[in-house]
Amino acid sequence: MKIEETTSVIVSEFENFDDWMDKYNYLIELGKSLPLIDEKHKVEANLIQGCQSRVWLHADFDGTLVHFTADSDAVITKGIANLLIRAFSGHTPQEILDSSTDFLNEIGLTEHLSPTRSNGMLSMIKQIKMYALVFKTKQSMGN
Amino acid sequence: MSLNLQETITQPDLEKIRADFPILSRKVHNRPLVYFDNAATTQKPQVVIDALVNYYTSLNSNVHRGVHYLSQQATIAFEEVRKKLQQFVNARFSHEIVYTRGCTEAINLVASSWGRANISAGDEILISTLEHHSNIVPWQMLCEEKGAVLRVCPLLSDGSLDMEAFAGLLGPKTKLVSIAHISNTLGTINPVKEITRMAHEKGATVLIDGAQALSHMKVDVQDIGCDFYTFSAHKVYGPMGIGGLYGREEVLDAMPPYQGGGEMIKNVTFGKTTYNDLPFKFEAGTPNVGDVIGFGAALDYINGIGIERIAAWEHELLAYATEKLSADPMVRIIGTAPQKASLISFLIGDIHPFDAGTIIDHMGIAVRTGTHCTQPLLDSLGISGTIRASFAFYNTKEEIDKLAEAINKVKEFFL
């Protein structure tokens, strides 16, 4: 599935929620169901700066596709990481770089997009794009 | 507003007081705002907002040395606030009050000016574990520059200063002791008078970081005996971007200037510049006149209610909140010193403060979560953050009940 297709599914899921409590209950569920990251990747180098909670984001590149795993000590942050991984993991660096993050506005998580030290959603997105850029560069150097 | 001269704030008074703060009647997330982030910044009464509007509407002019009418009126108003501040903290002279951008700049002023002149290699600066980053980093920078040593007084398990350890850390090399009057994370009120006496006995200079204290209690710098006392207006119901440094005349007089520019000079030639008298020596450039005047209005407002009555009501709120939160076995209060200002840091089970804070926010309650700019303190406690509810005299017991309900809601979400 293309990134845009996944994100529009996510948007439609969130459209079903009448109030903030349902939305957060869903985010918390997503947080609890985030696939476990390999403990060896929970290192300082994978820690995202600028978050009130600690967030580790790890990326693997198989030569074609980027695969992300993540963890956080805060459940809501894990839920957001889960959403981002669902959207961006398993795509090529170019697809990730070309993708839009507008869906986060559409699902009403704008409060988490402010450049404050909240849950660092912006930092996570930046880091995802950064990984994509690094892998794209590696790819082109390999060619 | 006319209030009864009683010991604490009564219910009818409270309603009048709340009506003075327009922001308290707004809603957030479709719920009436409960503002419990007063340790970060306090809300402003209408008289402060009016003072700012009036200044820019009818008085705006650059101060000092202007011969025209507006400049003279603005200067009078600007200097009257200095006298109000002198009285508010009971300094001997109004020229012992230096305007700064806030508490952080006041500490940096001392580190830069007094520190550069008085600290040399091997000297020691003594702070404590509970300090705000603003009372750590300027000293670290000074120590790095000078080859001096930063010493840190530990805490007891309840969050009060370990005064035995403090006595042991004070020595002939201690040149400066810089300690918070009140901890912004734990609420601990430190025994600043005793600290100052002990430090002076060893010949050390003393700075008290009063950022959290001025709004909560009567501060008397002469009684404390400290050499420096620093504060921010925005934590005392005044505007942001203004604050001050109290310095004992003899100490300030002996210090070199802080920044160079206009206002701080007496005479300038390309060969030599002579500096202005106190306090102007430390106030280079056009000052923040409008916010100083707003600060003056805030002080008048507090004086009108009475700081002792404010302290009494806030103490009641703290006792009520402590009782309410302690009744919940899941809540762990961080900081239980016998002398505390009106704030409570806490954790709910092992729920991350960010998670809890997000839900509490949606319940319309503004609390702060995280490290509160005191990372070394939280490291020493072995926790990554807290949820902090900090109360002001316009808060009510009903609002604390709402916090308790919000805590139950958090548990529903995460447990």
pLDDT (tens digit, 9 = 90+) per residue, B78-95?
999 999 999 999 999 999
A23 has catalytic annotation? no
* One domain, residues B338 and B225: no
Looking at the structure, tell me whether residues B373 and B276 fall in a common domain: no
pLDDT per residue as tens digits for the range B154-177: 999 999 999 999 999 999 999 999
Domain A3-142 CATH assignment equals 3.90.1010.10: yes
* A28 contact residues in B (CB cutoff 8 A): 355, 413-414
Q: Look at the block and give the residue holding tokens 């419990």.
A: B36
Residues B365 and B383 in one domain: yes
Mean pLDDT of chain B: 96
Do B189 and B145 have their domain in common?
Answer: yes
Pairwise CA distance, residues B208 & B105, whole Å:
14
Distance CA B299, CA B302 (A): 5
pLDDT of A116 reads 56
HSE, CB side, 13 Å, CA atoms: give it for residue B236: 36
**Given its phi and psi angles, is residue A36 left (phi above 0), alpha (psi -120 to 50 degrees) or beta?**
beta
Give the nearest chain B residue to A72 (CA atoms): B352
Choosing from B103, B143, B226, B373, the catalytic residue is: B373
Last residue of a domain, one of B256, B276, B303: B303
Give the bridge partners for B182, in sequence order: B189
- Shortest CA gap A101–chain B (Å): 22
Rg (CA), chain B: 22
Kindly report which listed range (A44-53, B251-260, B376-385) carries the lowest average pLDDT score: A44-53
Interval B338-382: pLDDT, tens: 999 999 999 999 999 999 999 999 999 999 998 999 999 999 999
Amino acid identity of residue B177, one-letter, is V
CA A57 to chain centre: 8
**B348 lies in which domain range?**
11-44+306-414
Q: Which chain A residues are Cβ-neighbours of B353 within 8 angstroms?
A: 52
**In angstroms, rounded to a whole number, what is the distance separating the alpha carbons of residues B361 and B305?**
30
Residue B336 and residue B290 in one domain: no
pLDDT of residue A113: 55
Q: Above 70 in pLDDT, residue B101?
A: yes
Which of the four pLDDT bands, split at 50, 70 and 90, describes residue B1?
very low
Instruction: Decide if B338 is inside a domain.
Output: yes
What is the Cα–Cα distance from B18 to A118, expressed in whole angstroms?
30
Distance between CA atoms of B233 and B294, rounded to whole angstroms?
A: 9
Summary count for chain B: helices (H), strands (E):
15, 17
Lowest mean pLDDT among A42-51, B137-146, B222-231, B354-363: A42-51
Q: Give me A91's structure tokens.
A: 């795509």
Of B256, B287, B303, which residue constitutes the final position of a domain? B303
How far apart, in whole angstroms, are the C-alpha atoms of residue B360 and residue B387?
A: 10
d(CA B397, CA B384): 29
Q: Are residues B289 and B273 in the same domain?
A: yes
Percent of chain B whose pLDDT exceeds 70: 99
Cα→Cα distances B323→A75, B197, B349, B355, B408, Å: 29, 35, 17, 24, 16
Which position has the token pair 């840190």? B152
Output the DSSP codes for B209-274: E-TTTTTTS---HHHHT-SEEEEEGGGGTS-TT-EEEEE-HHHHHHSPPSS-SSSSEEEE-SS-EE
- Determine the angle formed by the axes of helices A75-88 and B353-362, rounding to 10 degrees: 90
Looking at residues B186-197, what average pLDDT do you find? Answer: 98
pLDDT of residue A104: 82
Q: What residues have CB less than 8 Å from A101, skipping those under 6 apart?
A: A125
* Cβ-nearest to A74 among B29, B355, B362: B355
Q: Is residue B152 part of a domain?
A: yes
ipTM: 0.88
Indicate whether B269 and B312 sit together in one domain: no
* Residue B54 shares a structural domain with residue B38: no
A80-138 pLDDT, tens digit per residue, is 999 999 999 999 999 999 998 888 888 877 666 555 545 577 888 889 999 999 999 98
User: Does a structural domain hold residue B2?
Assistant: no
Average pLDDT in chain A: 87
Neighbours of A115 (CB within 10 A): 9
Q: Could you tell me the two tokens for A13? A: 């899921």
Q: What is the CATH number of the domain that holds B382?
A: 3.90.1150.10
Cβ–Cβ of A117/B370 closer than 8 Å? Answer: yes
State the sign of the Cα–Cα–Cα–Cα dihedral B66, B67, B73, B77: positive
Task: List pLDDT tens digits, range B15-26.
Answer: 999 999 999 999
Amino acid at B215: S
As beta bridge partners, residue B247 has: B228
Query: Domain segments of chain A: what residues?
Result: 3-142
Q: B269-291: per-residue pLDDT in tens?
A: 888 889 999 999 999 999 999 99
Q: CA–CA separation, B414 vs B407, rounded Å?
A: 11
Residue B1 lies in a domain: no
The sign of the dihedral angle between the CA atoms of B211, B217, B219, B223 is negative
Q: Are residues B243 and B217 in the same domain?
A: yes
Q: Which residues of A touch B (CB under 8 A)?
A: 20-21, 24-25, 28, 52-54, 73-77, 117-119
Neighbouring CB atoms inside 10 A of B233's CB total: 32
Instruction: Determine contact, residues B211/B103, Cβ cutoff 8 Å.
Output: yes
Distance from CA of A64 to the nearest CA of B (A): 36
Best residue of A17, A52, A77, A110 to probe chain B, by most B CBs closer than 10 Å: A52
B231, B98 contact by CB (below 8 A): no
Does the distance separating the beta carbons of B354 and A119 come in below 8 Å? yes
Specify the residue for token string 């709402």.
B402
Residue B197 lies in a domain: yes
pLDDT of residue B263: 86
Mutate to test the interface with A, among B350, B358, B365, B384 (most CBs of A within 10 A): B358
Exposed/middle/buried for residue B14 (C-beta within 10 Å: 0-12, 13-18, 19+):
middle
Work out the percent of chain B whose per-residue pLDDT is above 90. 92
Q: Exposure of B102 by Cβ count < 10 A (0-12 exposed, 13-18 middle, 19+ buried)?
A: buried
How many A/B residue pairs have CB atoms within 8 Å? 39
Q: What is the pTM of this model?
A: 0.93
Residues constituting chain B: 415
Q: Which of A24, A73, A77 sits opposite B359 (nearest CB)?
A: A24
Whether residues B27 and B78 fall in one domain: no
We report the CATH number of the domain holding residue B203 as 3.40.640.10
Task: Please give the tally of structural domains in chain B.
Answer: 2
* Catalytic residue chosen out of the listed positions A34, A37, A48, A51: A51
Backbone angles phi, psi at B271, to 5 degrees: -85, -40
pLDDT at res. A111: 65
- Residue B370 inside a domain? The answer is yes
Instruction: Supply the pLDDT for residue A112.
Output: 61
| B380-409 pLDDT per residue, tens | 999 999 999 999 999 999 999 999 999 999
